[in-house]
Amino acid sequence: MLIKKPADILPSEITPPQVWQRRREFLKASASGIGLAALGFSGAGPTRVLAGEAIPNVRPSPFSTDEPPTSLEDITSYNNFYELGTDKTDPQTNARFLKPRPWTVTVDGECAAPGEIGIEDILASFTQEERIYRLRCVEAWAMVVPWVGFPLADLIKRFEPTSKAKYVAFETLYDPEQMPGQKRRVLDWPYREGLRMDEAMHPLTILSTGLYGELLPNQNGAPLRLVVPWKYGFKSIKSIVRISFTEKEPPATWNRMQANEYGFYANVNPAVDHPRWSQRTHRVIGDGWLAKKRETLPFNGYADQVADLYAGMDLKRFY
């Protein structure tokens, strides 16, 4: 079981100093036009945040694990993001095509106040509440990522879902020019995912706008991605452009393509094997390929926080 405790870690303390220095030196040597706009709240008014620079006013999260974070290099160079390519290194290579500004998210469905919200408005509304969440994320391999984000529930409440809203559906940008992986029909584009409403409202479910105290890199799902740390990684949809409230369970890409391998719930469960491999153990990025695999924990170690969401459910059937 991962130990959770109130954190007292500042972004600058999480990020290795040599990384901050290297990235700042790179920015100083780069053209000034590569910046991405974001609004901060320093009392002096809006602040322009450059790619690779710190997001202002982030605070530590009480949900953070004690485990040391995975290196920034590993987090940004070993990714599952099929929209940018199927190889683990493709997203970093093709990240330059994605344009995360301007960016608009449409919110619709069973809600009293549907509408659109731009990424700048999201940052302006929620930056004061953003926190460093040092969370463990697992697929066939695992990372500990110091996400910067805010609870999804905070955004959901703004759009006033009705009593018919039992689920929340998400959709990724579809634009093959920005996402060259979409030029191949390896998946049924656009990528879609969904959560039950109580899962979406849980404080451990976050929308991430950054990592390591900096704006979210393109290969990690810029400018806005979901993070659900007790589920397998494919549930944490990236580059979100639509959020919809639905009465019925929404379609989810991998579940729709291969339901016998990828369940809708996708809770980390060592007792349920993938048909083609065991999920009882996993690799941790940074340990090296020769290192012994680690034991997988139910709900990825977050059982104390989320197990009650599934009380009475057969988790081998509803995997």
Q: Rounded mean pLDDT of the chain?
A: 84
Query: Rounded distance, CA 278 to CA 300, Å?
Result: 15
Sign of CA dihedral 117, 119, 123, 126: positive
Domain ranges of the chain: 11-310
Please give the single-letter amino acid code of residue 233. Answer: G
**Half-sphere exposure (Cβ direction) of 254: Cα atoms closer than 13 Å:** 18
Arithmetic mean of pLDDT, 280-307: 92
Q: Which residue has the higher pLDDT, 266 or 20?
A: 266
pLDDT at 23 over 60: no
Report phi then psi at 155, rounded to 5: -75, -40
Query: Model-level pTM?
Result: 0.84
- pLDDT above 50: residue 6: no
Mean pLDDT within 168-186: 98
What pLDDT shows up at residue 141?
85
Task: For residue 37, give the amino acid letter.
Answer: A
**Is residue 12 within a helix (H) or strand (E), and if so which, with residue range?**
helix 11-14
Residue 94 backbone dihedrals phi, psi, to 5 degrees? -95, 5
What share of the chain has pLDDT > 90, as a percent? 69
pLDDT tops 80 at residue 154: yes
| CATH code linked to domain 11-310 | 3.90.420.10
Strand 281-284, strand 141-151: pairing: parallel
Q: What is the pLDDT of residue 52?
A: 57
Q: H-helix or E-strand containing 244? A: strand 240-246
Q: Give residue 33's pLDDT.
A: 24
Residue 261 has pLDDT above 50, yes or no: yes
Check: CB of residue 138 under 8 Å from CB of residue 232. Answer: yes
**CA dist., res. 311 & res. 289, Å (int):** 37
Output the CA–CA distances (angstroms, integers) from residue 318 to 229, 231, 233, in the order listed: 18, 13, 17
Question: What's the average model confidence in pLDDT over 23-34?
Answer: 30
